Amino acid sequence: MSDVALITGGANGIGRAVALKLAANGFFVVIADREEVAGEEVRKTILARGGKAEAVRVDVTKAGEIEAVMGGVLQRHGRIDILANIAGGSIHRKLIEEMSWGEWKEVLDVNLKGTFLFCREAAPIMQRQRKGRIINTSSNYGVTGSARRTPYSAAKAGVIAFSKSLALELAPYGVLVNVVAPGPTETARVMKNWTPEYIREREKEIPLGRHGKPDDLAEAYYFLCSPESSWITGQTLHVNGGLVMP
């Protein structure tokens, strides 16, 4: 029986690349995303390549929906071996005086609350199994901060501290919790905000001279799912071409 990996945000960008990578390496992949059509496309791509997958619709900010998704996964598969919380993003880029409480909360909800809610459902299952890996998603802005991204930076810093705490809670059960912190990565969502001039200027700041590709990130998530990382927990793997070295 294949290990089961649930990937939030698996319908697009980095999450999609992680879904394809894990499926190619024998995992049964559950694509959990609020975009049903894109999720279905990833499922079909995996099946066409000989892998195993299902797509479920979920809004990661809704506790009831997450409980239902996790209940369904348990019913169908009886286990969950990997939880990769990747859904998120930087929305509402504004100076603090223009930021409403509702906007602030929306950014915190998708980037931090969703991670907490999914981890809360997965933790008891993984504790019972005495096996499991959780990989949460931060950002370079979670360590450097970024003007006009106060809630995003706070949420992504929160993901790191939350994951360290959870790693301590789950270590006695052999369940590992780590973080991937992507740097600027060419996904459709971020590319639409970048002009060719911006890309060229930005690349000059990146020591390795280029932006990340979703596949660069997928390698990091896969490593943290693999037997090769079995003595790593509570850590943040920064994948950013050398842009930030915390």
Catalytically annotated residue among 141, 152, 221, 222: 152
Q: How far is the CB of 136 from ligand NAI (least distance, A)?
A: 9
CA–chain centroid gap for 245, Å, is 20
Alpha-carbon distance 133 to 219, whole Å? 15
**In angstroms, rounded to a whole number, what is the distance separating the alpha carbons of residues 203 and 51?**
35
Q: Is 13 in the site for ligand NAI (CB under 6 A)?
A: yes
- Cα→Cα distances 169→119, 127, 221, Å: 12, 10, 21
Smallest CA-to-CA distance from 117 within 149, 78, 162 is with 162
Closest separation between CB of residue 22 and ligand NAI, Å?
15
Q: How far is the CB of 6 from ligand NAI (least distance, A)?
A: 12
Q: Does 170 participate in binding ligand NAI (rule CB under 6 A)?
A: no
35 contacts ligand NAI (rule: CB under 6 A): yes
187 interacts with ligand NAI by CB under 6 A: yes
Decide: is 86 part of the binding site for ligand NAI (CB under 6 A).
yes
Shortest Cβ 14–ligand NAI spacing (Å): 4
| Angstrom distance (rounded) from CA 167 to CA 112 | 16
CB 114 within 8 Å of CB 215: no
Residue labelled with tokens 């693999």: 226
Interface with ligand NAI, residue 185, by CB under 6 A: yes
Q: Check residue 139 for interaction with ligand NAI (CB under 6 A).
A: yes
Should residue 59 be labelled a site residue for ligand NAI when binding is judged by CB under 6 A?
A: yes
152 catalytic per annotation: yes
Q: What is the DSSP letter of 109?
A: I
Residue ranges that bind ligand NAI, judged by CB under 6 A: 9, 11-15, 33-35, 58-61, 86-89, 110, 137, 139, 182, 184-185, 187-190
Which residues are the active-site residues?
152
